[in-house]
Each structure stands twice: as structure tokens, then as C-alpha cells.
Structure 1
Amino acid sequence: MAGILEGASPGLLAEYLASRRPLVSVICTSYNHERFISASLQSVLNQTYPAIELIVIDNNSTDQSVARVEEFRQKQPEIQLIRNTENVGICRAFNQGLKRAKGRYVIDLSADDLLHPERIARQVAGFERLPGDYAVIFGNAAFIDEKGRLTGYHYPISPAGQATVNVPSGWVFKEILASYFVATPTMMMRKDVLESLGGYDESLSYEDFDFWVRTARHYRYYYQDEVLTSKRIVRQSLSSQFDTANNPLLESTLKVCYKAFDQCQTADEYAALANRIRWFIRECFYTEQFKLAFCFRELLEYMEKPDFRTALILRLCQWHIPVNSLYRNYVTWKKNRVFRRGALNAGI
């Protein structure tokens, strides 16, 4: 080996070493992300890891998002761009990129989030040390606002930067049912696992809960205790739509819950799913999706009878009480309180 590389130019040596490392495909989905996409793409180009392909899918943005991407492509023509003539949704847009991806590992990047420079290098190194039944590596995430200011963390951290709470790792199917604990933007996924699933389910309005349910039953997840991603919290983000009246996200959630029910095997798993469904019934009430609440009840009753609190919520759903405006004000107050507390813990 040394004889072959002896006398090679630094550029050729770097190209050879890069060729020996697993390719990572970063699939960036964008819709009206003009304000943020340049920083997001630059964070990919700033990676210390050399073997990366970048695929951008624009979902028919009406702002200057595509123009910002083209500015990068003038300097980096290897960046691939798919321009949709209509907004086909997050799941289908990602699958368009997945079909082009050649990497061993895949990152699903929203065009308003940021990768820290060592993110890909650290995650690839972690994956390469793991057994073959691991499908996902994930980590902690910093929360930033629309101006890029740090507001907190997905998991609270110590002064040394480690999470101060216990984060599930390994076989996490029950934990996936119990709560939202994986910071979605931090995930690196095995491409062959994604392909075995047929990519994301395009009948759904969002992707992560379904992906977790379909993979965590058969594959392990590894928590890497580092902050290598910044998740931007914006007013019109998809996650914020869960609080709005008559949003389509809870209907997708019901479909995923039926998938999860079919995969449950133990009493603890059924109990975790039942508890989550009780929470979704409350969300249906708060978002005034009263009929959908009874669809969740139907699934719940396959596992247990609704408890007193759930029965009360369902009775209130029958009365069609308009509570969404009040609920959204409460959620906004609570988020602001959490961000202020996170900022204090972070020493901001």
C-alpha cells in the first residue's frame, strides 16, 4: 500500500482516502426555505468528512429557494437538484432523493437545519463500529431560533455537553411507542434499511413516527451522546402544525398507530401504545378533530377500556367545544417557558 501511494500528490492521496470511506448521501428537502437554505447547504459543504453526495429536492417553492441552491451549484456543480412542479409532500420528495442516492448511509436534512462540521465523520465512525443490526445512529440537538440564536437542547446537557437524562438506545421499539425521544434531524440511517421499507410511506403527511415504528421492531438504534446538529424552530414548521385545528398530521398518526398495533408482541408494548393513543385522543380534542378522536378510541378498545379521563375527553368531543385557540396560546406559553429554561441551563 505504501509503495503504491509513495510520491502521490496530496490531492490524489486525499481522493484515494475518500474513495475508501463509505459514501454518505445527504437528502435535503426544501419548501420556501429561502432565508435558511444557504446556511443549511453550507453546513454540508463544511463537513470534515470527504465522501458526501448532496441531493436537494425543491417542492415547488414560491420564494427564491431555488435561486439560492443554484448559487451553490455554480461553485459545486456536483450538487444534485430536483425541482418539483408541485408540492408533493415531505415523504414523496425524500423518496425522490433516495432513488438517486448512492451512499451507504443517508441523512434526511430539512433546509432550515444545520449540521455541525464533525457530524458526518463522527456518525460514520460510530456506525462502522456497530454490528449489522443497527439501522440508526442519533444524537442530541441544539435548538436555534430563526436568527440562529441558541435556545436550548433536545436533551438537557451538563457543562461537559453530555445529556443529563437517560436516553434509550439499542432495542427501542417500546420506547418509540411510549414517547417522542429521538431528535429526528440528528438521525443517520442505513440506506439498505430504507430501501427494504420502500422508503417513506407516501400516504402519510410526515415521516418520522412511521419510520421508527417500521424499523425499531427489527433493528437497533444507537444514541451517540454528542450535540452535532442544530434544529431550527420556526413558526411555520411542520411540527408546529400539530397544534392547529383540523391539521392532517393526526390522521397520519392514526395509520401509524395501527401499524404499531400489528407489531406489538408484549403486554408492555401494548400498554405503551395504549398510553400514547390516550394522549392522541386528547390532541384530537385540543385540535377540534372530534370524529378522529373516536377513531383512536376504536383502536384503544382493542387493548383496554378507556379510563375515566379519556372517557371524559371523548364526552367533551361529542359536544364540539371550540378549544383550539385557547390550547394554542397555552402551547406557545409553554414552549417559551421551556426555551427560557433551556437558555438558562445553557448559560445563554
Structure 2
Amino acid sequence: MSPYLNQIKPWVTVICTSYNHEEYVVEALRSVVEQDYPNVQLIVIDNGSTDQTAERIDDFISSYPSVEFIKNSINIGLNRAFNQGLALAQGRYVIDLSADDVLLPGRITKQTDLFERLSGPYAVVFTNAAYIDEQGQQIGLHYAVDAAGHARAKIPSGNVFQPILDAYFICTPTMMMRRDVLNELGGYDETLAFEDFDFWVRSSRLYLYAYLDEVLTFKRRLPNSLSTQVILPDNNLLSSTLTVCHKAFERCHTPTEFKSLAKRIRTFIRKAFYAEQFELALQFGQLLYSIEQPGLVTSLILRLSRLDLPINSLYRHYLKWSNQVIHPSGKTGLIHLELRKQIK
């Protein structure tokens, strides 16, 4: 396109990271190249896949020579892989796409148009999403919608620092982010096991978020997804979460913000206890004491954490039983888990 058109249609970089996504990666990449937006830079990073993912990518991009492809010989972690793509990004805006998710038609155009209309220090435009299963069948929505397709609840927008401390409410793959903000923050924190909570805490303290009320992404829910691993005793998600909670503590300004963080910490104390990461539960407790005195239930959990009780197996059986009793359908159970995670 001419330099003039490039100025009025800013470039958008999609960074697609893959790891053992051979069944889904082509659909993800096709959803990018078939967008109606003219200026899209696609960067694909295969993070040491042990299946045929890299071969599927090679076959696909043979028809799209402008696609940039990085092959990592080993899995270097999601955040470090994304930062590889960020170092090559030229777009004004960036989308972080997992190779098992799908952009719906018109997404880039709609988000870019909103970004360009916004005034003020906005860093993120996010949207609603539909959840799909392994076969691509829709199993629910991130935000429940009315007959017109609009979110039933009021979705936080603008200054979202406190809502982010209150609860998980943003569907991560729906975000379009300003590249200069990502660069200012140093990209994703490569010491962490995940990216979203940390990015939200660091960016929302400084910048605003805008919600676009449409379903513009398919988010795939898989049995081995990262969110399902938090109950496992050897997971490193909770230790990363403790690091982010310390960052949030340093950024809290008001009593209500500290109160929201304390509520979140109490949840993570329970999660660490159920995962038999007892020392970590006590470390969360120390941070909580910096804000408030724990209530009766939290104090009891912290005391029990000193006893190294074999609780994890029992807890996992309980989760399996509760999902079967409340939602016999496996698909509905996934939505129940998602909603329960948002409530917590």
C-alpha cells in the first residue's frame, strides 16, 4: 500500500505462538490471513513442538511468503517466545494469538477502528469471546449476552486496575494492545509462567482499557489447558501469581484497591493449599498480613498449611464429582468451571 494509506490504516502485528497444536494451527493462521484488514504482519513462533506443528506451519506459509516464522528447537516458555515476536513487530497494535484460537472475520478492522477513535491513554481494546471445544463446537460465551448479542452485565472499561484485582474478567486472546506500551513495559515478564494477570496489573495502573461489545474470537478450551493445571501439586502458576500479587501491592494506591487485592490473595491461599503448595500458601499469607488481618477461614487454612496434609487428591476428586453432579455434560462443565473461576 502507498505510504499515505499506511498512515490512515496502521499496521497490526499478530504474534501467533504454537506448541503441539498440529490439529489447530492451520485454522488459527487462516483466520489471520483471511481478515479483511489490509495491513497485517503475521509472525509465527513454534515453541519446540514435538508433533507435526512446525511442518503444518511450513506447508501453510508456503503460500504466504510475507509470514515470518521462528522455529525454536526447545520450548523456551510462552512469554519468552512472545517477546521474540515482539522484537520483530512493526505494527502500531499487537494481537497475541495462541495457535488453537481463532480470529473471527472483521475482528482486526473493528478493534483498530475503535483504537483510532479513542482519545486518551488507552492501551488495550478487548471484546467478548465464544468458547469452543476440541472439535470446534461452541460451548459457551465469556460474557452472557442478551437477544441482541450484547453483554448482559456491565463490563469494566476505562480505568480497570481495581476490577482486575477483583476478578478475572478479560478473555486474554481478545485483546489488541498498543505495541509502544508493550515495549515500554519490557514485553511480557519472562520469569513468569503466564502473561495476562501480570500484563493487566502493570499496564492498567498506567493506561486505560476499552471494551468492544462483540464476539470476535473463538477461544478453544482443551483438557490440558494452562488454566486447568493450577490444581496440580507441581504447577508453577501459583508461584508466578505470588510475584504478580507483590507487583500489584506496590501499585495499589487506595484502601479499596488494597481490599480488592486482599480478596484475591485469599483465593490464592486456598488454591495453594489445595495444590499442596503449603509454603507458598504461607507466603501468600505474609503478603495478606501486610494488608489486613486474615479472617477465621483464611487463618484456619494458613494453620493447616503448616501440617502438610495430603489434600490434593481429595480436592481433585471433589472437583470431578461436583462437575458431574451439577453439570453432567462435559461441555457444560467447562463453562461452569470458567464461570466459577470468574466468580472467585
**TM-score, normalised via structure 2 length:** 0.92
Partners in 1 of 2:323 and 2:89 — Cα distance?
Answer: 36
- Structure 2, unmatched stretches of 5+, are 337-344
* 2:78 is the counterpart of 1:86: no
SS of alignment partner, residue 75 of structure 1 = coil
- Structure with the greater alpha carbon radius of gyration: 1
Query: Is the Cα–Cα contact under 8 Å of residues 323 and 333 in structure 2 kept in the other structure?
Result: no
Q: 1:210 to 1:90 in 2, by over 3 A?
A: same
Query: Is the Cα–Cα contact under 8 Å of residues 26 and 106 in structure 1 kept in the other structure?
Result: yes
* 2:65 is the counterpart of 1:77: yes
In the alignment, which residue of structure 2 is the partner of 1:179?
167
TM-superposed CA distance for 1:112, in Å, is: 0.2
Partners in 2 of 1:136 and 1:130 — Cα distance?
Answer: 11
TM-superposed CA distance for 1:341, in Å, is: 8.1
In the alignment, which residue of structure 1 is the partner of 2:261?
273
In the alignment, which residue of structure 2 is the partner of 1:156?
144
SS of alignment partner, residue 206 of structure 1 = coil
Q: 1:262 to 1:227 in 2, by over 3 A?
A: same
What is the letter of the counterpart of residue 50 of structure 2?
A: T
Query: Is the Cα–Cα contact under 8 Å of residues 18 and 50 in structure 1 kept in the other structure?
Result: no
What is the letter of the counterpart of residue 53 of structure 1?
A: Q
Partners in 1 of 2:203 and 2:49 — Cα distance?
Answer: 31
TM-superposed CA distance for 1:342, in Å, is: 9.1
**TM-score, normalised via structure 1 length:** 0.91
- Structure 1, unmatched stretches of 5+, are 1-11
Partners in 2 of 1:59 and 1:209 — Cα distance?
Answer: 22
SS of alignment partner, residue 270 of structure 1 = helix
In the alignment, which residue of structure 2 is the partner of 1:7?
none
What is the letter of the counterpart of residue 281 of structure 1?
A: I
CA deviation vs aligned residue, 1:92-133 (integer Å, no higher than 9, x gap): 000000000000000000000000011101000110110140
Q: Of 34, 38, 43, which aligns to 1:50?
A: 38
183-192 vs 333-342, greater mean Cα deviation: 333-342
Say what the alpha-carbon RMSD is for the aligned residues: 2.0
- Tell me the percent identity: 54
* 2:31 is the counterpart of 1:39: no
TM-superposed CA distance for 1:269, in Å, is: 0.3
In the alignment, which residue of structure 2 is the partner of 1:340?
332
TM-superposed CA distance for 1:48, in Å, is: 1.1
Q: Residues 201-280 of structure 1 correspond to what in structure 2 (within 5 A)?
A: 201-280=189-268
CA deviation vs aligned residue, 1:45-94 (integer Å, no higher than 9, x gap): 11111110100111110000011111111100111111112111010000
Between the two proteins, the alignment pairs up a number of residues equal to 332
TM-superposed CA distance for 1:292, in Å, is: 0.3
* 2:298 is the counterpart of 1:306: no
What is the letter of the counterpart of residue 340 of structure 1?
A: T
